[in-house]
Amino acid sequence: MSATLEKGVRVLKEVIDAPIASYFSSCVHCGICAEACLFYTETRDPKYTPIHKLEPLRRVYEQEYTLLGRLKKMVGLARPVTDEELGEWQELVYTSCTLCGRCSAVCPVGNDIVYMVRKLREGMSAAGHAPEGIKGAVNRTVTIGSPMGVRLPAVKAQMKHVEEEYGIPIPMDMEGAEYMVMLSSMEIINFPEYLGAIAKIMKQAGKTWTLCSTAFEATNAGMQIGNSDLARVIVSRIVEGAERLRVKTVISPECGHAYTALRWEGANLIGRPFTFKVQHIIEVLEEFRTQGLLKTEGFATDRLTFHDPCQLARRGGVIQPQRNLMKMVAKEFVEMPDAGFMNWCCSGGGGASAIEEGEALRMEAFKKKKSQLEAVKPDRLVTACANCRIILEEGLEHYQMEIPVVGLTEMIAEYIPDAVEPAPAQGA
């Protein structure tokens, strides 16, 4: 056994905790999870059945922690996990799994298959079988601070452009601000209008906010590759920045795994509670709406639909706020089939979009989203995740569907009248 394989198998043994043991013990092999996975539904290939993707982990569990499995191992009847097998499983564990959670949602015995895949990814990563695209993203995040290699000067350049375009100053490293706004590399490079929208919204709401020079990137590639130590490093950077600036709330951007990593897993990763609150930008906008701080004028007259990001809606439980916000600016808002909690993934989450060799499979899986859109025939598609937005644009272009994709935060800001006076700041 090679050193890397030995390390990977050791990690797999270590990650098998009580929940995973109970999940394997309770699985009834019904196959219902298959019909919940867009990689299976669009290919009909049984290897993409979610529970099958966990076979290496299941065998380690059986051979190490069950009486029958140990007996099989003692008499040479157990098939050990091999390096070659883990190499073959890379496609199943990374390329064809976006960690969308749809399989977990339909499991009749309540098994969290996403949790299990993440644990299997830890062993895969330790054994050297993570895809090169995700490895590169993790390395850039840890060494540079961004999975796309975005450095602080690039952020400052975009800040300057936004300030010139919107006529609103973009604060950085302001101590004691109410909100610390996080960005993803995709918003910095591809969608700088997001930052302009934030500035416009915060001005109208009368809120103090800031960017952080040492923690502007929210994307957590450590979670995507399956390395808790690296995920902890990335989260710690944000925590240190927020605590240094003494902010009250950290706003996760329109990025799914950034939200999951910071909101739901961050405190566990660093081993203590946060001293600040974490909210997705959509949650913040909904708070502003209910408090009367978010005011819009006019409506979009074209036909709009909304793509629910998996980590926000299904894994995070944020479903109604985006619909309340959509109704503020949309005259004709139509829901796709399976919208909300059971919405289908864009096909590129969980790090899958960084795997170049997986593009053909992603486009095949995108047929599920294509069918959803064909059912409602929208003029524009709105979402609240920058990664989803890019994948949606790629898929629509691939299938020659001329449907523009826009971010919800920018859309809300578009209908905020420039002449509206800002609300008085709290405490004023």
Least confident of 220-229, 313-322, 385-394: 220-229
Q: Which of the listed residues 103, 130, 157 is the one where a domain comes to its end?
A: 130
Instruction: For residue 423, name the pLDDT band (cuts at 50, 70, 90).
Output: low
Number of domains in the chain: 3
Q: Is pLDDT at 322 greater than 50 in this prediction?
A: yes
Q: What angle do CA 147, 148, 151 make, to 5 degrees?
A: 95
Domain carrying residue 221: 136-289
Q: For residues 382 and 326, what is the distance between their CA atoms, to the nearest angstrom?
A: 9
Is there a domain that residue 274 lies in?
Answer: yes
How confident is the model at residue 145, as a pLDDT? 81
157's enclosing H/E stretch is helix 152-166
Q: In terms of domains, do 244 and 181 share one?
A: yes
pLDDT value at residue 422: 55
Q: How many CA atoms lie within 13 A of 173 on its CB side?
A: 4
Tell whether 235 and 150 lie within a shared domain: yes
Secondary structure class of 181 (helix, strand, coil): strand
Determine, yes or no, domain membership for 423.
no
Q: Is a pLDDT exceeding 80 seen at residue 371?
A: yes
Domain stop point among 266, 289, 312: 289
Are both 347 and 403 inside the same structural domain?
yes
Q: Is residue 309 part of a domain?
A: yes
Each residue of 279-288: pLDDT tens digit? 999 999 999 9
Is position 420 within any domain?
Answer: no
pLDDT at 164: 94
Per-residue confidence (pLDDT) for residue 244, from 0 to 100: 97
Same domain membership, residue 120 and residue 177: no
DSSP element (H, E) containing 267 = helix 266-270
Do residue 272 and residue 298 come from a single domain?
no
Q: Is the pLDDT of residue 299 over 50?
A: yes
Tokens of 415: 């209908």
Q: Of the candidates 95, 130, 165, which is a domain's last residue?
A: 130
For the segment 151-197, what is each residue's pLDDT rounded down to a tens digit? 999 999 999 999 999 999 999 999 999 999 999 888 888 899 999 99
Task: Please say if the pLDDT value at position 427 is more than 60.
Answer: no
CA distances from 392 to 347, 362, 382 (A): 9, 11, 10
Query: Model's pTM, two decimal places?
Result: 0.92
Q: Does 428 fall in a domain?
A: no
3-class SS of residue 317: coil
What is the distance, to the nearest Å, from the Cα of residue 98 to the centroid of all Cα atoms in its chain? 9
Same domain, 51 and 175: no
Kindly report the CATH number assigned to the domain that includes residue 376. 3.40.50
| Pairing status of strand 330-333 against strand 300-307 | parallel
Per-residue pLDDT for 42 more than 50? yes
Phi, psi of 62 (to 5 degrees): -60, -45
pLDDT at 287: 97
Q: What per-residue confidence (pLDDT) applies to 224?
A: 85
Q: What is the pLDDT of residues 70-113, one digit of tens each?
A: 999 999 988 999 999 999 999 999 999 999 999 999 999 999 99
DSSP 328-362: HHEEEE-PPTT-GGGPPP-S-TTTGGG-GGGHHHH
399, part of any domain = yes
- Assess whether 153 and 23 both reside in one domain: no
- The larger pLDDT score, comparing residue 308 to residue 146, is at 308
Q: Taking residues 198-205, report their average pLDDT.
A: 97
- Mutual orientation of helices 132-143 and 228-245 as an angle, nearest 10°? 30
Q: How far apart are CA 188 and CA 155, in angstroms?
A: 7
On whether both 118 and 213 belong to a single domain, the answer is no
- Say if residue 192 is in the same domain as residue 76: no
Assess whether 372 and 285 both reside in one domain.
no
**Alpha-carbon span 164 to 387, nearest angstrom:** 26
Is 422 contained in some domain? Answer: no
Q: Is residue 270 part of a domain?
A: yes
Reply yes or no on whether the pLDDT at 308 is more than 80: yes
**Tokens read off for 290:** 């209910």
Query: H-helix or E-strand containing 83?
Result: helix 83-90
Amino acid 1: pLDDT: 65
CATH number at residue 7: 1.10.1060
**269 shares its domain with 176:** yes
Indicate whether 74 and 47 sit together in one domain. Answer: yes
pLDDT of 424 over the 70 cut: no
| 8 Å CB contact between 146 and 185 | yes
Average pLDDT on 206-231 reads 91
Residue with tokens 């990763």: 269
The chain-wide mean pLDDT, for the chain, equals: 93
Site of tokens 């050297």: 128
Q: How far apart are CA 50 and CA 114, in angstroms?
A: 9
3-class SS at 252? strand
**3-class SS shares of the chain: helix, strand, coil, % to 5:** 55, 10, 35
